[in-house]
Each structure stands twice: as structure tokens, then as C-alpha cells.
Structure 1
Amino acid sequence: MLESFIRMMLLDTTPLRVASADILREWCEYVPLEPLFLAMQDTNERVRSAAKWVLADVGAHAPQEGLMPHLTDPDAEVREAVLYALGTQAPVAMVLEALDAPEEGLREVATYLIDMMGVQVPVELLITMLQSENAQRRAAAVRVLGTLGEHISLELLIEALQDTEENVRLEAIRALARSSERMPQTELRTFLDDVNQSIQREATKVLASVGDPEALSIIVGWLHADDEWARENALVWLCTPIVDMGNAIARHLPIEELLHLLKDEWWPVGYMTARMIAMLGVDAPWAELLALLSDPLPQACNAALHALALLGAEIPLSQYIPIEPVLIVLDDEDREMRRKAAEVLNYFDVSVPVERLLLHLDNENVEIAGLIAKQGRQEGIDILVANLRTRDRASFAVAALGELGEQAPVESLLAALHTSDTFVRQRVAVALYETHPELLPLLVPDLVETLCTGKVGPLLEPQQDIMIAQALAALHSPHPTLLAWFDQALDSSYWEVRMWAIIGLSGMAPHVFESTIEKLQRLYNDPESASVREAAHRTLETLELRTATDEHWG
């Protein structure tokens, strides 16, 4: 099968060459280098780019002697891929040379490798780099020096605070953030009112991370900005970690400020604040979050649930809060609130009363269905399977089914491999690998047959029909042959073919056959897919409206 993908990289169809390269990237240690170097000469930029990243990944598992000669290749993209492949084994001199390269890709990989090499780069060389005319070299040197701790003098980094280039000054501030108790707070405070917003913001964050009162006061001011976008952006900046300091700012900010922001009318502020609170881990304000679950402001309850979900992803919630307040939220009238509550319940390591869950089971709440399915109830599994045949909820349903182990319905997951959504297909493959790994090898002969002969087998046939339906729908042509094809596709055994045929018909008024209208009316009650039913409903409304309009102007 490996040879088939290598041959596909030589075909004259660009998408196939790119797709083959992407697949080979997953088989790093088994792929020979020679075909990849050949693909790097491809005339198509997309193919070269795909081959470059395969070469970078595959090369990391290959003997160095097969890569070193290509460090002098005249093609900059080849040199870039080889440097990525060699990683910290790349010659320091070649990495430093790449820092000065005119090609942006080479400069990026060199900067990346300097960071990766760290202590492998002699301190004397780093100090020399600080005097370089190349700002990227100076910034890279400052960044690495900042990782060396007590092995270097802070004066080198303090001097870099006065560099003429903004990026070097930013790296100096971040490097000093690593110096913990040695941090020169006096020097950094001079940047709290810097005219350069990036410099001012970064210095403020660094000082706030060690509890500097002036810096914390500035941040509180950001969080009280009148403009909701300003508040949101402030939280985005604060949630972006400074080097390895993680949750330091969240621990120093007054907790009442964060709790107040959970009630912000602008919901992204509440969600970003939830992220800040989640950084506190076991020290989160558990009682206050629970109290917000009964707050009359829906945005406060939603943000509190989001914080609990983020905390639950790292901490068993049962150890810190009772389950009952979250169960009460299941009675909320808002479907999104119920969905969020079910997500939080998933992080309790105690059994959730299934009777309480069944009261709120509906066709669209994948989270509640997942909780019920995990307790072995067929009602939950049936809802998850039904949601595999939807455009919007399939990926969530797959994730929930993947948690059921051997209980996961094999046939339904295999059928979901036919979907046109690449992300869903990938999640289905993962779910099958986790629940029924013995089935995946059985699919290989069908795929190999397609690769070798071009003849589409049972596994891919529905996708072929879906792609035809999508292509024809994009034409918006009422040609009788196309109308007949859509009419026939409405009888397809695969829900997504029916759905795309319905979508294609939506622009065909007043040319749609009467028999086709009758089929659409029947699909309004399609027994298999909610997405088919929704598409039929919208298309019938559209056809009626356009027909009425045409008759009016006629």
C-alpha cells in the first residue's frame, strides 16, 4: 500500500499528489527519502509544500547521512525541510547561516532550531549574536539566553531592553520573566507607560505575574474598559501564556474581578474569564461558581458552566463540588444551557442519575445522549447514531460513541465513514480504532483496489455520489438531465446524497418536476436524517416562494 501512495505522488492530478504526501506523512519511519526529494522538484507549489513537510517528518526517522548532503541543495525549500528533519542534530553553523537567508522559510526554521538547541549553542556565540546587525539573530539570542537561568548575567538581557527593534525588546521582557526572584522589576516598570502598546502590555503581564501592584492595577483597568471588544482583547492577552509562567496572573488578580466578569453582557468576555478561572485549578472559587449556576443572568450561568467544564477536563469535579446544582441546570428552558450542563456532568466520576437525564433527552442534545449511552441505555445510543446522520452534530456524536468501548455500534460507525466531512471521517476512524480495532484492516483491500485500479469500491462509492451531487448543486442549472439525476438521487439509500440532491433542487424553481415535489414532501418526514428533513423543509419553502414570485411577475 505504501508503494501505491508513492506512485500517486507522480500522477498528473494535483489534489491526489498532495493527498498522497499528507498520508505518507503519517508513516514516517517506513517512507524512503528518494521519492520525497523527487517530489520537491514538482512544478506545482502545493505539491512541493506538501512534500516538504513529509520530508521534514520522515527525515526525522532517517539516518543523518542521507540528509546531510542536501543541506547545500540549491533549492531553499529542500534545505528548509532537511533542517526541520535534522532538528537539534543540525550543524549549528548551518542554522546560524540560515538566520541570514533571504528566504523567510529558512529564517523561520533557523529561529525554531536555535530555540530547540538551547544549551547546545555556546554562550559565547549567543553573546556575539547580540551584536549582530540582524535583528532576528539578536532576538533568537535573547530568547535562548533567557532559558539559561543563573548561568548568564541578567545585564545582557537588561541591555537588550533598549534594543532599537521591537521584537528584540519583547524577547528581552519575556526572557526576564523567566528569572523569577532575580527579575529586575525596577527596570521593567519603566515600560508600564511605554508608547509601544505591545511592549507596554508585555511588561505589564510579566510584572503582574509576580504580583506587582501597579501592573495589576493597570490590568484591572483593562478589564473595566467601556468597550466590550477591549475587555475581550484584554482577556485574550492575559490568557496567552508568558513563557512557562502559566496561571501566574490569574493567581494574583482579585478573584472578585474575575467573578464579576463572568456576568458580562458580552458573552466572549465571560468565556475568556472562565478560561482565566480554570487556570486556578484546585484553587478555583468553587462555591462562587456553584452560586452562579442559579444566577438570574443566563450569561453568568453559562460562563460558570464553561469554567466548570474547563476545570473538569483536568480535575475530577466530584472531589470539589456536589453534583446536584449541575443537575438542576438540566431543568433550564434554554437548550444550550442544558447541553452545557450535560457537558459538565460528563466530568463527574460518580454515576449521574439516569432518570434525571431521560427527562431531558431529545434528538439534538448529544451531550445528554452520551451520558445516557455510557450507562448502557439504548435510548442514548439511538440518539447518538441518529446524529451521525447530521451535518452539524456528527462529530460530537462520534466522540461520544468512541467512549462506549465495545458497546459502540459497529455498523453505524462504519456507515459514517462515507460522510463528505473529512474531520468526521477522521474521528470515526479514531473511534473505530479505539472500540473495534480489528475491523480497520478489513477495509484495506477495498482501498488498495481503488488506488491500484481507480475503480471505486463499496467504502468510497457513497462519497463519489455525494461529490457528484455537490458539484451539480453548484451549477444551479435546470437542465432536464440534471433535474432527472436529482430526482433519482432523492431515492438514494445514503442520507447525505439525498440531502445534497435536495439542496441542489432549491435553485431550480419553477422547473422542478411535479413527481420530484412529491418526493420532497415525503422527505419532509425522512425517517433517517434530521438534516434531510431540514433541507427538504427549506427547499420546499424556497420552491413555493420562487414559484409564487415567478407567477406574480409573469
Structure 2
Amino acid sequence: MDVELQPAISALDSSVEEIRYRAAQRLFTGKQLPEKEVLLRLLADASWRVRKFAVEKLLEQSIPTEVVRTLVGALAEQDNAGLRNAAAEVLARCGPAAVEPLLEVLATGGVDERKLAADILGEIGESAAVGGLLQRLDDDDENVRAAAIEALGGLGDRSLAPRLVEQMQRDGLMVRLSCLDALDRLGADAPLELLLDLLQTGPLRPMVYRLLGRARRQLVLPLLVKGLQARGRVERASAARALVEYALLTDQQGRVDVRVELARLGDELMNTLAGMLASSVREDREAAVMLLGWSGRERAAELLLPVAEDPALREQVREALLGLGQRVVGELEEKFDQASSNQKTLILEVLGQLQNASSVPRLLEAILDQDEDVTRAAQSALARVARVEVVETLTSFLQRNFATHADSLVGALVALGKSFQREVVQAMEPLLQQQQAQLRQAAAQVICALARLENQDQVMHLAADHDPAIRAAAVSALGRIGGGQASYERLRLALADEDNHVRLAAVRALAGRDDEGLLSLLVIALRDPDALVVREALVALGNTGDRSLGAHIRPLLSEDDGMVAGEAARALVKLKWDDDPSWLDEACQHPDAEVLREVLASCQGWPVEKVRFLVLAGLRHASWSVRVQAAKTVEALGDVECLHALKESVEKEDEDWVRETMQQILKRRLAAESKRP
């Protein structure tokens, strides 16, 4: 026994939980596990917190065989449920190493031990346990037989199904329930005649329904529909889930039959499914949503909309509403004003996909909604309905509401222009002659967003407009549609525009094209007085892959603006520019710490020997954000020297959360190293 640990071992006798917890921390600080007797004391502690800590620490390490056997022996502890449960939790995560000793307990232990061993073997899920588990199907104790069957159900071996069916035919209620559950988890079938017989036993019905759902026999359908009308909530939910599975597995005619049977149930079905939608079991809610979609009832929309608030079910609710078809259009439009934002966007999506012309007025109103998500959904829906007469209506809306809803209406017109480009552009052209600047800008945005190469002359004209917002929109369009030398010349002129927004649009337009000569224009943009324009040009140049551009970018590292210098450093890293390696030194010395942080974040693909000094400097830097990024770069590089420096930095680090981040990185590296052969 380690003498240094003796005080910690003695502290386990304390009546104070916190003292015992700190003792547990001390006992697990070394690489070796505590001695077996000490380990059992920790796992048997009266405090859940102490036991949980011991379990977590055990699971972080490779557990020796003798410790596994010690834990298996702890399953026989009758007077300490905490010890049994802690041992079981660890054994379930030990995998194959625990199977053999657990099988010994399964064969020779007491009743409680045999049941617990079967439970753990089921969690481990190793096929090597099949033989021992099958032997327990003849155990004298019903609980052991049931546990063995449940374990077999988790092994995924369908060849076990005949043996489970045989057991179900001759055993009692508890074992039959376990057999049905195991067959369900195995995805195996049982003889229909046997299932029909078991359906007469009330407690078995929920599980029987689950298996009947896979039977693909027409005589099963009325039985499942009858189950929807059962008194018991669990029985109804099980029948509903089984009916969904039946419908998904059957043929087209079978699905029609399901819809007919559901339609016959009327309000009784609605009440049953409404109850299921409030269930805490997600599978029940999913089944209710799908059945409502097949019910053919308008009231289903009212029940489905609130369920859409659950992100996990939203898509299924949408499919269910679409399945109800045109009959729910009126109901959805009626519910729209009182609906939440999420519900409104869903309603608009469904109305758009149903493409009912009567929904256009509602879609037009929704475009003016204050919620941006609702507005975007309305724009998309309107584009799906795609009626050319809507162009005139939207144009009129724009003329009346440009001061308050210009963005929404521009988006709607652009979406509609995907189907009616010529009509939308023609409707916008007269608005360019209006006096109101905001209206002209909106019209120009639509025209430019819909512009094609054949509209180049019109866009070129707008690029020379007196309004800088219109010039910026036109310049962006030129970058998208191209257009040869005339376009190139217009973009060159835009780089010298008096308005910085136009110049920024020009840089972004140039970044999206690969015409010869455009790189020289981006280089010119590096001398722009606006920092945002310069940064955008640096991003574009860094993405070209042309290393010869490094010489033009290099001088910007000396800019006082840290964001410009940082973008220049990132561009040089992307270009892998090493013609003048001293730039890395300059980046390291920049007064804005973010410059070094950007370099550290970007240089992980570089050879270690070229960036090691940067990483080491980063670990010593005064800025915590730089130190954290340096630590992350150390993890990515995996360099021994850098890892050693990181270990030293941990000991000197004053910021708790920075130190914790560094420790986690070292822990991950250690774990990765231990897995290498």
C-alpha cells in the first residue's frame, strides 16, 4: 500500500461526504487503480456522488481482469444496493472482458445474481453469451427467465426467434411479455395464430399489436383499428404505432384501406389521436401525426399545428398536412392570424406546395408580416404558386409600401421572377423613373437580381446611375452575369467610385469571376482608403491560390488596423507564401493580438518547423485568446516539442478556464497516443 495514500484511505471513514469525495479524487490521481478493497469501499459509499465519481474514473481506464472479477463478485452483495448498481454499471461497459465471469454467475449464482448477470449481459450485447442465456430459459425462477429473454432480444440475432416463440407458448405472463418484447426488438415475426390467441389476454395486447403491425395480412387491419378504440391509453398508443407500421409495409391498396378505416372512426379517432399528441413518448406522437395525415379530416390541421413547435416533429407535421391535401387550405388560412411564427411559416410552406390559387391573397398579406422568417416563407410560397397576374399586384404593393416593406416585396418579386423574369423586369422599369429614391432602389434591386447576360446593357446603364445604392446593385449583378470587356471596364471604374459601398460591391464582383486581368484590379483595391474594401480584396486574393500575389499582400501586415493585418496574414497562410519567411515574425510582433491568433488558427497545414516558433510564442502570449488558439494548434500539429511546451504552460497558466482547455487538449492527445499500436 502506498503510504502517501493512507490519509486518503482513512478519510473514507469520515461521516462528511465532501471529505470522502476529496479522498476519492486523491486516490484516483495516479495512473494505477486503487487496491481492490479500497475500490469496493468507494463503489459502496453511501454518497451517490462518491460512487458516481469512482465509476467514471474506472471507465476512463483499461480495467484489469482481476478487477473485473472483483466487480462480478460484488453483484452478490445483498446489503448494499449502491455497490451492486455501481458494479453493474461498470461491468456493462467492460465489453467482452466481463462476459466469461458473468456467465459463471449466471450458471451458479443466487437468484438475484443470475438475474443481474443476465441484465448486464444484455447491455453488453456479445454473441458469446447466447449459449448461457439460452440455458437460463429453463431456470426455476420466472424473473431470471424473463431477464435472459430480454437479454437475448438485444443481441440482434433473428435465428433466436423460434426458441422465443416456443418459450412464449409454454410459459407464464411475465415471460410471455418478455418474449413479445424480444421478438419486437429483433424485428422478428411470430405465428399469426399465436398472436391472435395472445390478443385475448389484456396485459399482452400492447406488445401483441406491435407484432401484428408487421404481419402484412388484411385481417390484421380491423384488429388494429379496434385497438385504437380500446380503453387503455397504452393499448391505444400501441395499436396506433402498429397501424402506422402496417400502412408503411403494405401495398398501395392496403394504404387506401387504412385511410378508409380511419375515416369511418370520425371524431372518436380525433379524440384518441389528440390524446396521443400530448404523450411524453415521442414514438406515440409521431404515430398520431402520421395517422392524422391519413384521417382525411379538416380538424386534423387544428390538432397538428401546435405539434409543429417541436423541431423533431415539424417535418412529419408538414408531410401530414400535405397528405390531407386541398381540404385543409381553408382551415390553414383561417388559423394563420392566431398562429405562432413557427406555425405561420409551416402554413405558408404547405400552402405553397399545395399551389392553390385561392391562397394568393393570404400569401400577399404574409409578405408584409413583421417576422422575417414568415416573410421569407411567404416569398417562397408565392413563387411556387407562380401566377403571372400576381406581378401586377406585387408591383402595386411595392409602390404603396416601399417605405416600410421594401426588402420583403423585393424578395417576393425576385422569387416570382424565377418563373416570370420578363414580366417582372418590365413591371419594374417604369418605377426607375419615379422621384422616390427608395422606390427606385427597390426596382433596381429586382432588375439586377433577375438580370441575365442578355440584360447586360440595362445593367451597365444602372451601373452609371446617380444613386450609389443603384450603382452598387448593378455592379454586383455584373459580377454574376459576366459580359466581356465592357463589363471589365465598368468594374474597373467602380473600383474608383466615390462611394465605398460601390467599391466594395466591385471587389466582391471581381472575386466571383475568373477572367484574365481581374487579379490586377483586386491588387489595386488593396490601396483603397476603406478598410472593409481592403479586407474583402485580401479574402479574394487569398482564395486564388496564386502565390505570386504574396508580394502585394505582404506590406499590409504593417497596417495599424488589426483586422486588415489579420486578413493579410490569413491570405498569406492560405497562399502558403514563404518567399519572405520574415512575415511570420512581423505577424507575431503586431500590436493587435488577433493578428497572431489568426495566423495560429490558419497555419495548421504548414510544415511544423516553419511555424513552431509561432506556436511557442503564442503559448507565452499575454492575450488569453492567443494562448487558447496556440494550444489548439499544438493539438492539430502533434509536435513533440510543442506538446512539451504546452505541458509547461499548463503549470504556469493563471486563467482557470484557459488552463482547463489546455488540460483537455493534453488529455485527448494522451488518449490518442494510447490507442496507437
**When the two structures are superposed, what TM-score results if normalisation uses the length of structure 2?**
0.39
Question: Which structure is larger by alpha-carbon Rg, 1 or 2?
Answer: 2
Task: Considering Cα pairs closer than 8 Å and 6+ residues apart, tell me whether 1 or 2 has the greater RCO.
Answer: 1
